[in-house]
Amino acid sequence: MQSNYSEVQQTLAAEASISGVGIHSGQTVEIRLKPAEPNTGIVFKRVDLPNAPMVKADVDNVVETNRSTTIEANGARVGTIEHLMAALVGNGVDNVVVEINAAEVPILDGSAEPFIETIRKVGVTKQDAPKVYYTLQHNIVFVDENKKVEMVALPYDGYRINTLIDFNSPVLGTQHADLRHLSDFNTDIAPCRTFCFFHELEFLIDNNLIKGGDINNAIVVVDKPVTDTQVQRISKAFQKEDVKVSEGGILNNLELRFPNEPARHKLLDVIGDLALVGMPFKAHIIANRPGHASNVAFAKKIKEHLKKFKNKAAIPPYDPNKPPVYDIHAIEKKLPHRYPFLLIDKIIHLDEKVVVAVKNVTYNEPFFQGHFPGNCVMPGVLQVEALAQTGGILTIPDDPDHTYDTYFLKIDNCKFKNKVVPGDTLILKMELMNPVRRGICEMRGTIYVGEKLVAEADMVAQIVKKPKERV
């Protein structure tokens, strides 16, 4: 069973396909789930339209929430995405391109289980990219007084969901569902089918709104008296015989898979809709009377919160009380730089892909004498140079017989967000984007002062080896 808490991003191990009928259009829909590169996210591709436009599964692209969730971008629309989204999230799939030849995802049996079976056939594979989980800094609350909806996301080291439904129905009553671990999604939540009330079904049929509807893809709740004529009409519409109301107030088309299957399906919808936040996050979600419109509004609030604190999550922690990985003397043994051009003071983190350095900026820096006298600002080019030196600690080999020089080949996407002045402590992070080949290294650099991002850049450099001079 796949765990949602992989430390790296995941995609499908191979291409998978599934087909079925769209509940609203009645069209036969074919879907191909294709593996995608890291950081792609979940993207729908309308292959039936000219130029096959793409629609990212993101809350900012939601255009409709009436009975299902619909996204639209680049002139393309895709609806009823929530069950597929829940299946992907529940199985830890971060990156996938969903090729679809119609405007809605097929309803299948009204649950996420057919999508789970499709994913299981090909499996999920890990990718060479870290997966960052964002955490909440405080409770996030959404309330809709008119619909009597209350939703809250609590800071939590995991992903747990509680749902409570109450439709004032004598048949359903008040139901509760709980998912403590996302790893239980496939068995406890995915099989739960959508439901509707008999009087809603009549309205949908009268208005030709469920052309692809089938009496086997929804639980039909009968909570008001109905006549034999009404039941016969439903039977005829779906070309079924012997349809009748069971003693429990459920149309005899289906047997419940769980006593609280409707509440569990609402939980499934919450997972699918909150996946549109677009960033993996940990929280305890409590949802009272959730629905697609409320879920999407709640997802927007969560996304706004995470975006606000996203930079904070990326800032490397710095504890000056801890001994450094490299002090200044160890740095001098590795880098071909010396005062006044050695621009980092110590290394506080080093692994195969990431290095973090510290630079204490003081008024005694030699460049302040000639750069904006009276208005001390560290030159941006020197900030980039400090990043490059930080990257050198990671990429220059430990070789007793040779020294190495590094030369810039390219600097892209370089941005300076805030001034650096005397008294600032720079936290410089360099991340290797691809393995070093033929001395060429590609790195992504960021500089922080406290909680502020002050500079960032993508850099390509060449490492040149030369014999060490013998003394």
Residues 388 and 285 in one domain: no
Distance CA 155, CA 138 (A): 6
Q: CB of 181 within 8 A of CB of 89?
A: no
Residue range 255-282, pLDDT digits in tens: 788 989 989 999 999 999 999 999 999 9
Of 24, 83, 284, 292, the catalytic one is 292
Instruction: Answer whether residue 249 is part of any domain.
Output: no
Strand partners, 8: 130
- Domain for residue 226, yes or no? no
Q: Quick one: pLDDT band at residue 407, thresholds 50, 70, 90?
A: confident
Contacts (Cβ under 8 Å, ≥6 apart) of 13: 35, 122, 123, 124, 125
Same domain, 41 and 146: yes
Q: Name the amino acid, one letter, at 82.
A: E
Looking at residue 224, what is its pLDDT? 65
Q: Does 39 reside within a domain? A: yes
Closest CA to 86 of 246, 230, 325, 292: 292
pLDDT digits (tens, 9 = 90+) for 171-209: 677 899 999 999 999 999 999 998 777 766 666 666 655
- Is 354 within the bounds of a domain? yes
β-pair type (149-154, 140-144): antiparallel
78 and 182 co-located in one domain: yes
Query: With bands split at pLDDT 50, 70 and 90, how would you rate the model's confidence at 2?
Result: very low
d(CA 96, CA 379): 42
Q: Give residue 265's pLDDT.
A: 94
Tell which of 313, 348, 375 closes a domain: 313
Are 161 and 37 part of one and the same domain? Answer: yes
More confident site: 238 or 183: 183
Judge if 44 and 159 occupy the same domain. yes
Give the domain CATH number at 146.
3.30.230.20
Give me the mean pLDDT over the 109-134 stretch. Answer: 94
Bridge partners (DSSP) listed for residue 385 = none
Specify whether 301 is located in the same domain as 340: no
| Residue 18 belongs to some domain of the structure | yes
Q: Which of 176, 199, 349, 371 is catalytic?
A: 371
The rounded distance, in Å, linking the Cα atoms of 53 and 371 is: 50
Mean pLDDT computed over 207-220: 62
Tell me the percentage of the chain whose pLDDT exceeds 70.
85
Residue 13 lies in a domain: yes
Task: Tell me the average pLDDT across 353-373.
Answer: 93
* Same domain assignment for residues 287 and 333: no
- Indicate if the pLDDT at residue 414 is higher than 60: yes
> How many structural domains compose the chain?
2
Work out the pLDDT band at 3, boundaries 50, 70, 90.
very low
Q: How confident is residue 324, by pLDDT bands cut at 50, 70 and 90?
A: very high
Same domain, 270 and 153: yes
* Catalytic (active site) residue 371: yes
Mean pLDDT across 147-153: 96
Residue 218 included in any domain: no
Instruction: Determine if residue 332 is left, alpha or beta; phi over 0 gives left, psi from -120 to 50 gives alpha, anything else beta.
Output: alpha
**Residue 305 is among the residues annotated as catalytic for this protein:** no
Whether residues 268 and 354 share a domain: the answer is no
Q: Are residues 49 and 187 in the same domain?
A: yes
- Given a cut of 50, is residue 150 above it in pLDDT? yes
Q: What is the CATH number of the domain that holds 360?
A: 3.10.129.10
User: What value does the mean pLDDT take over residues 20-41?
Assistant: 91
Residue at a domain's end among 246, 280, 313: 313
Asked, for residue 219, whether it belongs to a domain, the answer is no
Give the range of the structural domain holding residue 103, as residue numbers without chain letter: 8-192+259-313
Verify that 351 and 447 share a domain, yes or no: yes
* Angle in degrees, 0-180, between the axes of helices 261-274 and 82-90, rounded to the nearest 10: 80
Confidence of residue 94 (pLDDT cuts 50, 70, 90): very high
Write out pLDDT tens, residues 33-90. 999 999 999 999 999 999 999 999 999 999 999 889 999 999 999 999 999 999 999 9
Average pLDDT over all residues of the chain: 88
